[in-house]
Amino acid sequence: MEMWTVGPVLRLVGLVLAAMLVGAGGCGSGGGEGQTPADAEAADRRPIVVCTTGMIGDTVRHVVGDRCEVITLMGAGVDPHLYKATRSDIDAILRADIVFYNGLMLEGKMNDLLVRTARRRTVERVTVYLGEGELLEPPEFQGLYDPHVWMDPTLWASAVDVIRDRMSEVDPAYGEVYAQNGEAFKQELVRLDAYAKRVLSSIPERSRVLVTAHDAFNYLGRRYGLEVVGIQGLSTESEAAVKDIERLVAMIVERDIRAVFVESTVSTRSVQALIAGARGRGHEVRIGGELFSDAMGPPGTYEGTYIGMIDHNVTTIARALGGDAPEGGMDGRLGH
């Protein structure tokens, strides 16, 4: 067998390294100085972004535009508190370049899956920029924060920042595009907040009581000066006890509340029990409308967007409680 001497081996290694350096820096057809064809292919590939809820998915689409493939796991009418990932969900998560979720235990049954995925994929909580002073911590859920932050558009703007920043890390070639799109959407949130403040402040002060199926609207109440009463707690996993229904019926009668609200993702059973209990005491209370709490409206509709969801909610609440709001909402698009 022929034996290699040290000198020729070193010369051979030097030639291989030189060739590698030329290949890495000398090919300009990849779309930029110092960029390889593999780099160009990676830059042209559409990143896959998986989002747990519709509110996150719609916000991501505003930031990334057509650049990315955006997959939303939970659709209209789906309760994220109770949702269990399907096989196709798991496949999508494992293919994703990045996964965005709400956190704060909203996706309670998916939490273990998200933690495991974070070991091999970029997984980010869109509420990560919110501080303790901005989050609500109901006394009955000590140590846990209210996850329904999207009900306050000024808080949801921080989710836009998280999405912009993480997408710029995953897909840096389009970072400036994400920054511009994110800023444009935040301006829409400013306009939405101004509309919500105007129509909800028109409700007579004594009527600013929002009774709903579960505690999903506390951030909205804090932002716009409404007293919020949920029949169930923060999570729809809990059931309203008979004593809770009786206590709320007494409050409705005593304070002469004329409208209560059902939610698109929660059974109407508890709300109907309130209405029947009040009627038994000679007090008539009606359903003021259906609100979107943990999911947006049907896909392809205005209410199936984040802006449309909040517009629908504040317009419905204002009109039902005696405020002044246009039937078509902020831009006349509700119901179309």
pLDDT the model gives residue 7: 40
pLDDT the model gives residue 239: 56
pLDDT the model gives residue 43: 62
Beta strands in the chain (DSSP E): 48-51, 69-72, 98-101, 122-125, 209-214, 227-232, 259-263, 286-291
pLDDT the model gives residue 233: 58
Residues 329, 332, 336: CA angle, nearest 5 degrees: 100
pLDDT the model gives residue 31: 37
Torsion of CA 231, 234, 238, 240, to 10 degrees: -10
Residues sharing a CB contact under 8 Å with residue 45, sequence separation 6 or more, in sequence order: none
Q: 204-320: which CATH number, 2.60.120.330, 3.40.50.1980, 3.50.50.100, 1.10.730.10?
A: 3.40.50.1980
Q: Are 259 and 209 in contact (CB under 8 A)?
A: no
pLDDT the model gives residue 222: 98
Quickly count: other Cβ atoms within 10 Å of residue 69's Cβ.
Answer: 16
CATH 3.40.50.1980 location in the chain: 45-197, 204-320
Hey, what CATH class is 45-197 in?
Answer: alpha beta
pLDDT the model gives residue 244: 81
pLDDT along the chain (336 residues), means of 10: 37 35 33 51 83 98 98 95 95 97 94 92 97 90 89 98 98 98 98 98 96 92 96 57 84 93 88 93 96 96 98 98 97 94
Q: What are the Cα distances from residue 293, in Å, to 78, 147, 158, 208, 334?
A: 10, 11, 19, 18, 17
